[in-house]
Amino acid sequence: MGLRGVLLALALLLSVCVRASHGLTDSQDTSVLRALMDQWQNSPPTWGQSDDPCGVSPWDGVTCSNDRVISIKVSTMGIKGLLAADIGQLTELQSL
């Protein structure tokens, strides 16, 4: 495999690790979740604690796939408020 192959494999592994450790949630999805949070009282405590709803510490009730929000399940969290029209911008949302 030689030194060149080892270095290439190491670089690939490093890029995967960096991708996994940084916020990569679709920026529009993040903006929509923040808009929802602004409309609600008693929003889940983890919402807004990180910049990445799908990241290492995902926001409560949010499920993601391929860095896109696919599900929001907050019905038992005592949330009060309006459902912002922005919800329509979560183009991968399958369950609410």
Provide the pLDDT confidence category of residue 95 given band limits of 50, 70 and 90.
very high
pTM of the model: 0.73
DSSP-assigned states of every residue in the chain: -HHHHHHHHHHHHHHHHHHHHS--S-HHHHHHHHHHHHHEES--TTTTTSS-TTSSSPPTTEEEETTEEEEE--TTTT-EE---GGGGG-TT--B-
Domain spans of the chain, in order of start: 22-89
pLDDT at 19 over 50: no
Closest-CA residue to 93 (of 61, 66, 70): 70
Four-point Cα dihedral 38, 59, 52, 90, nearest 10: -60
Per-residue pLDDT reduced to its tens digit, 45-62? 899 899 999 998 899 999
Per-residue pLDDT reduced to its tens digit, 53-90? 999 889 999 999 999 999 999 999 999 998 888 899 99
CA atoms in the 13 A half-sphere facing the CB of 56: 8
